[in-house]
Amino acid sequence: MTRTTSDAIERRFGRFGGRYVPETLIPALDELTEAYAAAKADPAFHAELDRLLREYVGRPTPLYEARRLSAALGGRARIFLKREDLNHTGAHKINNAVGQALLALRLGKRRITAETGAGQHGVATATAAALLGLECDVFMGEEDMRRQELNVFRMELLGARVIPVASGTRTLKDATNEAIRDWVTHVRTTHYVIGSVVGPHPYPAMVRDFQSVIGREAREQVQAAAGRLPDALVACVGGGSNSMGLFHPFKDDAGVRMYGVEAAGEGLDTGRHAATLTAGRFGVLHGAASYLLQDEDGQVLPAHSISAGLDYPGVGPEHAYFKESGRATYLAVTDDEALWGLELLSRTEGIIPALESAHAIAALPRILDELPEGAIVVVCLSGRGDKDMPQVAARRRATLAEQGGGGR
């Protein structure tokens, strides 16, 4: 009985996915797979999760038609924003964090851990831990702690411990390594809350399921608002959880195109980017076979993006599958383009997006060119930009100084 249900959670997506982790963790992954399969089949679990998403997180999030943004981009398409930025804690990450924290309770584990890049997943996990009375440790690269000081403070205020990671590139990749090492060590008492659709089975499928609330809501909302399914979905892709959450409920709707937007950093030709699907190739990172940025010997290359949340050399295995099967299209926008997207949305709609989400906005001109007149487009606005203000301000000052202008 449990066998049947746990087998229903995909272990592989084509040649991607799997469980490439030390043997020590395999029994914990088996246990997690069983527990998740049981939870998935349990109406009481869904009732509790739905209640928290509604009463605590603030779901459903609105689907907002961004008319002035559409007009600014030529007025040939109707652009809808799925407002994940309006969630409690300011991003989509909380959808998954609450789900996994509830699962930790079912597993009888009182300590949860997380890796974080931009800090949004760390904040979401610390929040869920406070909500459910769990102990929480968050691993964060030193470089990211510098870039996202405010989120470090928020996590600590929420009662979590933020553990600085000084190894490797001191960013999300190394925070993930350290979180896995911690999990190997404390596997009997700890549930590791992975923040994206990455990692060993069952995480990619499980995190996708928790984030699919985005796409399920959007699918109903867009039909109510526009009377039909959209022509295209657009979302940024780092590990790929907000995009997979939006895409997945539409995957069998053949007429709905999917665009994942990666970070081209300083430009694909500079080597300083995080465009894993665009410029990487097949390999194994953090327990799953997928695409990654690597050298000829298989050493993982450091990623670069102005957005800490996209600064990751891997990507979820199901995205790799969507790329190879042609179900989704992946493109990349640079740091500068993302900043342009951030300003555009701020000025046309009064919505300051996170730098991650700004990548999705910045890709719109290119995507709209491929769509018919009057196309309906749903963009996942995965998070709000407050956390990024110090960095954006510093960058603007630097640009103005370079141009020799004083600015206003």
Partner 1 sequence: MSRFTDLFKRLEARGERALIAYLAVGDPDLPTFLAAARAALGSGADALELGVPYSDPLADGPAIQAAGQRALAAGFRLPWLFEALSALRAEFDAPLAVMTYVNPVLQAGARRFVERVRAAGGDALLVPDLPADEAGELSALCREAGLDFVPFVAPTSTRERMAAAAEVGSGFVYCVSVTGVTGARAQLPAELPAFLEEVRRRVPLPRAVGFGVARAEQARALKPHAEGVIVGSALVERVAEGGGAAAVAARVGTHTASLKAALRGDP
Give me the least distance between CB of 234 and partner 1, in Å please: 31
CA distances to 1, 83, 166, 283, 328 from 260, in Å: 37, 17, 31, 20, 7
Verify whether residue 387 is a known catalytic residue: no
Verify whether residue 93 is a known catalytic residue: yes
Among 177, 241, 243, 278, binds partner 1 (CB under 8 A): 177
CA distances to 1, 177, 361, 389 from 346, in Å: 51, 36, 11, 12
Exactly one of 6, 82, 109, 115 is catalytic; name it: 115
Name the phi and psi angles at 268, rounded to 5.
Answer: -60, -35
The DSSP code sequence of 107-143 is: HT--EEEEEESSSHHHHHHHHHHHHHT-EEEEEEEHH
Exactly one of 82, 93, 109, 173 is catalytic; name it: 93
State which residue, 81 or 300, has the beta carbon closest to partner 1.
300
Among 180, 193, 205, 328, binds partner 1 (CB under 8 A): 180
Give me the least distance between CB of 123 and partner 1, in Å please: 24
The whole-angstrom separation of Cα 381 and Cα 188 is: 37
Give me the least distance between CB of 201 and partner 1, in Å please: 10
* Choices 62-70, 170-178, 215-223, 239-247; region in contact with partner 1 by CB under 8 A: 170-178
Q: CB burial class (10 A; 0-12, 13-18, 19+) of residue 55?
A: exposed
Scanning residues 255 to 284, which ones bind partner 1 (CB under 8 A)? 282-284
Give me the least distance between CB of 269 and partner 1, in Å please: 22
State which residue, 180 or 206, has the beta carbon closest to partner 1.
180
130 near partner 1 (CB under 8 A): no
Give me the least distance between CB of 102 and partner 1, in Å please: 24
**290 DSSP β-pair partners:** 283
Is residue 323 within 8 Å of 279, Cβ to Cβ? no
Q: How many chain residues bind partner 1 (CB under 8 A)? A: 37
Among 6, 19, 53, 360, binds partner 1 (CB under 8 A): 19
Side chain identity at residue 273, one-letter code: H
Residue 227 is given by DSSP the state S
The whole-angstrom separation of Cα 48 and Cα 242 is: 22
24 near partner 1 (CB under 8 A): yes
Give me the least distance between CB of 56 and partner 1, in Å please: 33
27 near partner 1 (CB under 8 A): yes
State which residue, 84 or 178, has the beta carbon closest to partner 1.
178
340 near partner 1 (CB under 8 A): no
Name the phi and psi angles at 122, rounded to 5.
Answer: -65, -45
2 near partner 1 (CB under 8 A): no
Identify the CA nearest to 305 among candidates 245, 236, 353. Answer: 236
Among 58, 164, 168, 365, binds partner 1 (CB under 8 A): 168
State which residue, 140 or 392, has the beta carbon closest to partner 1.
140
Written as six digits, the tokens of 385 are 């930009």
292: three-class secondary structure by DSSP: strand
Compute the C-alpha angle 61/264/391, nearest 5°: 65
The whole-angstrom separation of Cα 193 and Cα 150 is: 21
26 near partner 1 (CB under 8 A): yes
Scanning residues 183 to 212, which ones bind partner 1 (CB under 8 A)? 184-188
Among 8, 15, 22, 133, binds partner 1 (CB under 8 A): 22
Please give the positions annotated as active site: 93, 115, 382
Q: Which residues bind partner 1 (CB under 8 A)?
A: 18-28, 167-168, 173-174, 177, 180-181, 184-188, 282-287, 292, 294, 296-301
